[in-house]
Structure 1
Amino acid sequence: MTNKARTKSRKLMAVASGSDSGLRSSALAEILQEEIIQGWLSVGESLPSERDLMVQYSVSRATVREALRILGAKGLTEVRRGRLGGSYVLAPSTKTISNSVDLFIQGHDVRFVDLVAVRSAIEPVAAAQAARFRTEEDLAQLNEMLAEADKVIDDIEKFSEWNLHWHLGIVRASQNPLFLSFMTSISSALYSATEREEFNLETRKTVAQAHRKITKAIEAGDADAARRRMMRHVTSYAQELDLSTDVTARALGEAE
């Protein structure tokens, strides 16, 4: 028996023997999720009907419905109405990953310094990749955002939103969907700090200037300069929040 077969066998046993309906639903959802991820259930294909799943796994309708709800919440299926209605397979997307990370952040005691450390580890690499792989459309969007800087610089709330969109634009230009998923999922909590009083007008002007320099390096295709300038930028951000030492250590994997 292969490892995959053994794993599925254990999950089937969990479905059949679980005394708690929640555990049975979770186990059934894991089986169906595995079939979707492995491609055994194709994108656009309908899952078996509720009745068929009840018979196949010897579970109640409530267990099946909860398992389907779990899959839907993960962005793996959607419910369609009508004569051919049912649960249909969706392609796993960046949103799927982002939702999972967001749920983890909400369900665990993730400290702000850890979020900043993730940013410090990802964004300099993303900036370097953006310099190599950005499209003309990416550049146009980044430059369009830079042109808006002077319009939002005096409004800290609008500046915070502008700052968020620019950073996500850099990550998007890296063409790395995993980077984009992680940064999207932590962005709201992370960039809300730019609304703090430490981000006064002079600081916001410094941030906007850093954005211009990073974008210029990306436009020039200079990956090393883009990485260095982004690292300097995120380090400066941490210093504004008195987090720089801890963040740098964590980003480099040196924290205890």
Structure 2
Amino acid sequence: MSQIMESLVGRAVQPLAGATRTRAEALAVNLEAAINANDLDPGSYIGTLDELRESTGFARATVSEAVRLLRERGAVEIRPGRGGGIFIAESNPVIRLRHTLLTVRDSPSLVLDAIAVREALEGLISNDAALHRNAADVSALRKALTKLRRAKDHDAFMHSNWALHERIAEISPNAMAKAVYTGTLGYITPSSAEFDSTEENRIDYLKHRYLVHEALVQGIIDGDSDAVARAVREHDNGN
């Protein structure tokens, strides 16, 4: 059993201060705290998904999501095959940048700061996507847009919205801009979007936001930088 596993055995996952977090998000924070507390070198073995599940008592889906979050943050890497598992990731400038973003998670006005940074990078990220998308990207963007259209309520719509933007960002070859951009999305929860609370206005809001994203995706698919720029301006007007 690895040092990190030993530190997790019998240890309750602590809730996070501030905005409501999922169990997977709370587990990810606690796992990262255990990694830091053990002060292990990059490449050190953490364990397997099954070992983490047994150590924490969480369902496999929760553990898998927590590991995915840590991998996106650059804290761990997954090595497949025999002798594989979850390992502490090698450090690089992008990973250090993501870690910096995480340290300010509960700072005042964080949501507003995150929105400002995201909007500043929206044009760069979206234009990169229009210039570098391939057939697989186009297919993935269409599927993400379909999920957005089929969202049944505001929370589902906003989660699909973030997933779409994350997929757009994946296309960009600019690793630094991509890391900052995707990092900000983690601080903008569905409750961050402001709109009139009446059902009619809520439906109108979601319809309008869908059309904005539809125009953005179509501009990226067409490789039309002017259309992308127009869609980005319209997008940022509504946050």
TM-score greater than 0.5 by the shorter chain: yes
Q: How does 1:39-188 map to 2 (within 5 A)?
A: 69=37, 77-80=42-45, 90=90, 92=92, 94-106=94-106, 108-152=107-151, 154-188=152-186
Q: Which runs of 5+ in 1 are unaligned?
A: 1-65, 82-86, 238-256
- Structure 2 residue aligned with 1:189: 187
8 Å CA contact 1:142–1:215 kept in 2: the answer is yes
* Shift, 1:94, TM fit: 4.8
- Partners in 1 of 2:103 and 2:215 — Cα distance? 34
What whole-Å deviation, never above 9, does each CA across 1:79-102 have from its counterpart, x for those lacking one?
238xxxxx9872537555323212
8 Å CA contact 2:44–2:88 kept in 1: the answer is yes
Aligned-CA RMSD value = 3.1
- Partners in 2 of 1:197 and 1:110 — Cα distance? 19
Percent of aligned positions with the same letter in both sequences?
18
Q: Which runs of 5+ in 2 are unaligned?
A: 1-33, 47-86
TM-score, with length taken from structure 2: 0.58
* Shift, 1:69, TM fit: 4.7
- Say which is worse superposed, 93-102 or 197-206, in terms of deviation: 93-102
8 Å CA contact 1:128–1:224 kept in 2: the answer is no
Tell me which structure has the larger Cα radius of gyration: 1
What whole-Å deviation, never above 9, does each CA across 1:17-69 have from its counterpart, x for those lacking one?
xxxxxxxxxxxxxxxxxxxxxxxxxxxxxxxxxxxxxxxxxxxxxxxxx9975
8 Å CA contact 1:214–1:226 kept in 2: the answer is yes
Q: In structure 2, the residue corresponding to 1:203 is in which secondary structure? A: helix
- AA in 2 matched with 1:125: L
8 Å CA contact 1:120–1:231 kept in 2: the answer is no
Q: In structure 2, the residue corresponding to 1:77 is in which secondary structure? A: coil
TM-score, with length taken from structure 1: 0.54
- Partners in 2 of 1:98 and 1:88 — Cα distance? 15
Higher helix share: 1
- Structure 1 residue aligned with 2:237: 235
Q: How many residues in Structure 1 have an aligned counterpart in Structure 2?
A: 163
